[in-house]
């Protein structure tokens, strides 16, 4: 993986893998977790893996527009249902 210029697609693939790990652990619906907080913690513990994710920390909670765009793309592609149930590929 190219960490010097992580692409949107590379980040999307990482998010999908992380969501599949959640599904395997028994968490099948993103309503069970705070999506933004989950990836904020992951970014803090592994900043190189989530290099492209930028968080606005000026609000009440950290927020990433990148993650919202990825989540919307995953719904559109069918990876997530509109209810945010993790379907997978």
pLDDT number for residue 1: 47
> Alpha-carbon distance 88 to 4, whole Å?
28
pLDDT number for residue 86: 77
The Cα angle at residue 24 between residues 9 and 12, in degrees rounded to 5 = 10
Q: Is residue 68 scored above 90 in pLDDT?
A: yes
Q: Please, are residues 27 and 85 in contact by the beta-carbon 8 Å criterion?
A: no
> Alpha-carbon distance 2 to 37, whole Å?
25
What residue ranges do the domains of the chain occupy?
8-77
Please write the tens of the pLDDT for every residue from 1-56: 444 688 999 999 999 999 999 999 998 888 788 899 999 999 999 999 999 999 99
Instruction: Grade residue 83 by pLDDT with cuts at 50, 70 and 90.
Output: low
The DSSP secondary-structure symbol of 64 reads -
pLDDT number for residue 3: 46
**What pairs with residue 18 in β-bridges?**
none
Q: Is residue 72 scored above 70 in pLDDT?
A: yes
Which carries the bigger pLDDT value, residue 50 or residue 83? 50
């Amino acid at each position: 993986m190219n960490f010097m210029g992580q692409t949107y697609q590379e980040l999307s693939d990482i998010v999908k893998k992380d969501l599949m790990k959640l599904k395997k652990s028994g968490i099948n619906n993103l309503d069970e977790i705070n999506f933004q907080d989950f990836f904020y913690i992951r970014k803090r513990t592994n900043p190189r893996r989530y290099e492209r994710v930028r968080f606005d920390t000026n609000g009440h909670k950290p927020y990433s527009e990148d993650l919202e765009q990825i989540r919307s793309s995953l719904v559109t592609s069918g990876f997530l249902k509109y209810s945010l149930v993790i379907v997978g590929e």
